[in-house]
Structure 1
Amino acid sequence: MKIARLASPLFVVVALGLVGCGNRSSGYSPKPAEEVKPVDLATVDKANVFPLKEGNSWTFESQVAITLPNGQSQTNTEDITLRVERIATEGGETRAEIHVIREADVDPETGQLTEDAAQQKADRSGWMVNSEGIYQTAGSRDLLNYSPALPSLLFALKQGDEQEFITTGPLPAGNAENNTIPVRRMIVRHTALGPQQVDTERGTMPAFSTQTVLLYPASGDDVEGLSAALSKLREAGVTDVTTATSGTPSEPAEGTSEEGTSTDGTSTEGTSTEGTSTEGTGTEGTSTDGATTDGSTGDSTTALSSSLPTVPPFVASTSTVFWSPGVGMVRFRQVVIQPSGVRIVQTLRLKDYDLKS
């Protein structure tokens, strides 16, 4: 099966085919948490939460896991680097163009792009930082705009606060036939998850995590109709509407929670389930990424699903980002669920960074 390219809320990734992809095992292993002071967005240097200077770069271990409806799956691991290529500052806003450089695109002897990579358009994204927050303004190799821009961190939102609106921009899952990224309208639901501690290869870092959910119809453009149907689901008690992508909703088992937070609101990032037992590794159905409910089985699930409002099939993309002031993004996880049952999970873990003075 051919899987479409993905355009995550952070940058574009080329998704894997299921045969013949290079791969290596993940080098990540959770480290004991160190005590670090929690992030207080009210007092941080807002202009420096995401340091945007030309030449700044961040290297991550990237892991992409694809699972098909029949259970067939594949995981690909590689290093990728995000590098700031262009900067423009005006009127209190800093805008940047960031390129994605993959391990396979770099000549190990020279450290430069290979000839083939240099001749291709880079995966890239547009970003903006101002006094209100951090936003993605564009994505894909062609820098297709989001209008309005996607918030990745809003300084005024407190833990648990949510903002919802409709945007137009490149979809999180592209066209598998011609490997393009269509532009359409999407529902955006952005939530502040709160302070967290994140383990990286540069040590434990204080971070503030947010979650952005993108929802759009599998066919057509009736975003308002989808929004109304999902609102009815929430009124019926379904807190995680991403379980209804195929049109048959189900409610997560009691006690599960959103990615990176436990049910009592305390952090688990880097010290518990994240990166060990729940990331596409055989505990499907008990994951804390907020989008998996396959573990609910039996007559109770059937009864629950039949009693809930139905919705038209749609695609759900859930992205969780961890921002560390003065460093930038230190962890990222995206889960894309399609109506067909295809599930794609991408995780980025910070390995190193180089910030220009």
Structure 2
Amino acid sequence: MIWKATLAFALLASLTLIGCNSQKASGYQPKPSKKAEVKPVEPGKEATLFPMAEGNQWTFEVEAAGRTDEITLKVISISPMEGGIKARLEFTSGTQVIDKQAWEITSNGIFQLSAGNPEVTFSPRQTAVPFPIEVGKKFAWKGTALLPIGQAGPSSHKNEVQAWQLVDSGIGRVTALPIQTYAEFMAKVDGQDVPATMASTTYWSPGIGLVRYVQRIAVGNATSGQTLRLKSYVVK
């Protein structure tokens, strides 16, 4: 999966405990604050991992290359298709569109069709989340797409569905499903093909969408990375 965003940052949410005075009122027993619990998505509601409605948007804090920024992902349009829906989305930084994407959601999963500006079509489409959700499930992809370094070309991916977990975000701690991806591809550096790899984890939260994305890239001996952390969202 490709999130062609340039910058990102992560905030750690903190838990506040309720204290009590040494002189307690008669019959009063202070109760500790409730701990967040992992709440996986209900069967049949897997599509809520990426809520698709025109106008839905997610704002992220981003960190990359020692820089920080804020970017927004917005659903521009929705169109019905046989067995599901197709959505067009845009990443913006301020007023600038930095990435255009197309997605499909069907009973079989969440799929990415394209990314980039100009847009690059993925052939075949990439599976982001397979349905039904099975922790430990492994799935692979091989084809042509927008590479993590911004070039278009062939790559191969190995993916695994990880266990549900609580994830810190700018909106607090939320339940999320991590999808780990390891990709191999060739990068053009000074006109030469150089072996490259990408390792990433995408965290999806029911009823919210993408809450965190961590990516690390190695091109030859050079490495880089970026992290997106959800700051706010609007979902219809």
TM exceeding 0.5? yes
Structure 1 residues 27 and 93: CA distance shift in structure 2, 3 A? closer
Shift of residue 96 of structure 1?
1.1
The answer to whether the Cα contact below 8 Å between 2:10 and 2:227 also exists between their aligned partners in 1 is no
Structure 1 residues 91 and 204: CA distance shift in structure 2, 3 A? same
The answer to whether the Cα contact below 8 Å between 2:50 and 2:210 also exists between their aligned partners in 1 is yes
Q: Which amino acid aligns with 1:334?
A: Q
1:354 aligned residue: 234
Q: Which amino acid aligns with 2:107?
A: S
The separation in 2 between residues aligned to 1:350 and 1:333, in whole angstroms, is 12
The separation in 2 between residues aligned to 1:201 and 1:165, in whole angstroms, is 32
Structure 1 residues 201 and 209: CA distance shift in structure 2, 3 A? same
The separation in 2 between residues aligned to 1:142 and 1:34, in whole angstroms, is 45
The separation in 2 between residues aligned to 1:165 and 1:55, in whole angstroms, is 30
Structure 2 SS opposite 1:29: coil
Number of aligned residues: 214
Shift of residue 218 of structure 1?
4.1
Question: Cα deviations across residues 114-166 of structure 1 (Å, max 9, x unaligned)?
Answer: xxx3xxx5411111111111111101012211111111111235222211231
2:118 equivalent to 1:142: yes
2:130 aligned residue: 154
Shift of residue 100 of structure 1?
0.8
2:51 aligned residue: 51
2:147 aligned residue: 171
2:179 aligned residue: 210
The separation in 2 between residues aligned to 1:210 and 1:77, in whole angstroms, is 24
2:218 equivalent to 1:343: no
Q: Percent identity, aligned pairs only?
A: 28
The separation in 2 between residues aligned to 1:320 and 1:202, in whole angstroms, is 19
Q: What residue ranges of structure 1 are gaps of 5+ in the alignment?
A: 1-8, 16-22, 66-74, 106-112, 175-180, 220-311
Q: Which amino acid aligns with 2:229?
A: R
Structure 1 residues 44 and 208: CA distance shift in structure 2, 3 A? farther
The structure in which a higher percent of residues are strand is 2
Kindly report the root-mean-square deviation, in angstroms, between the aligned alpha carbons of the 2 structures.
Answer: 2.3
1:76 aligned residue: 67
2:163 aligned residue: 194
Structure 1 SS opposite 2:132: coil
2:213 aligned residue: 332
Shift of residue 14 of structure 1?
4.0
The separation in 2 between residues aligned to 1:345 and 1:27, in whole angstroms, is 13
The structure in which a higher percent of residues are helix is 1
The separation in 2 between residues aligned to 1:347 and 1:165, in whole angstroms, is 23
Question: Cα deviations across residues 46-88 of structure 1 (Å, max 9, x unaligned)?
Answer: 23221111110001111113xxxxxxxxx01111110111211
Structure 1 residues 77 and 38: CA distance shift in structure 2, 3 A? same
Shift of residue 199 of structure 1?
1.9
1:13 aligned residue: 5
Structure 1 residues 34 and 135: CA distance shift in structure 2, 3 A? farther
Structure 1 residues 151 and 27: CA distance shift in structure 2, 3 A? closer
Structure 2 SS opposite 1:12: coil
Pick the aligned partner of 1:31 from 14, 18, 41: 14
The separation in 2 between residues aligned to 1:28 and 1:46, in whole angstroms, is 27
